[in-house]
Structure 1
């Protein structure tokens, strides 16, 4: 994707979105993005990337919310996601072919483990063969 966009030699960043970034559909001082079709194509491709890169799910969901009317500030966030991909090209979930049809699930919970509010936390991972297919 970076090659196709001419960004294969772009600089990298350590996070997919800056913590102070606020995205809004109401942008009176922010002009509309000049090529909304390009925005939709890139963001659509990023949706597929989230299958193996769950670390991008939140920020890609955020930029998807502006596909109907993207602005320059939204495109800036998309570019930052691409810069993050440049830095983390070698990361992600690997999906391999397998012959076993076993399903394994693992879970863990920490009942009332938070010292601040005594909330419980939990999580799970489901494997189909050797592939991680669901997690929380």
Structure 2
């Protein structure tokens, strides 16, 4: 909650920790956070690519992958009020056809 916000969800040139190749010890925490982020992509399509990349390492996450999760969480903190909002309303579908 008190972290510094990031301006982008992923880094072009990642600055990974020195032990980024080591397996992340608490795999259930990684899976829990990334699984929750999957639900967030419904209203935040801007993070879909990053979440997809993190999901590909759920079976064997490393310390570097967890650093990516932390960066994404920092980005979300800085953009907490961004996203799509859905409000109940009537659904009217209008279609037009040009036969030429």
Cα displacement (A) at 1:83: 0.1
Structure 2 residue runs of 5 or longer lacking an equivalent are 15-19, 96-100
Name the CA distance, whole Å, in 1 between partners of 2:6 and 2:28. 25
Q: Using CA pairs below 8 Å that are at least 6 residues apart, which structure has the higher relative contact order?
A: 2
User: Runs ≥4 in structure 1, deviation > 2 angstroms?
Assistant: none
Q: TM-score, normalising length from structure 2? A: 0.84
Q: Which residue of 2 aligns with 1:103?
A: 93
Structure 1 residue runs of 5 or longer lacking an equivalent are 1-7, 22-28, 106-136
Q: Number of paired residues?
A: 91
Name the CA distance, whole Å, in 2 between partners of 1:44 and 1:33. 16
**Higher share in strand:** 1
Q: Which residue of 2 aligns with 1:20?
A: 13
Matches within 5 A, 1:1-136: 8-21=1-14, 30-98=21-89, 100-103=90-93
Q: TM-score, normalising length from structure 1? A: 0.63
Q: CA RMSD in A?
A: 1.7
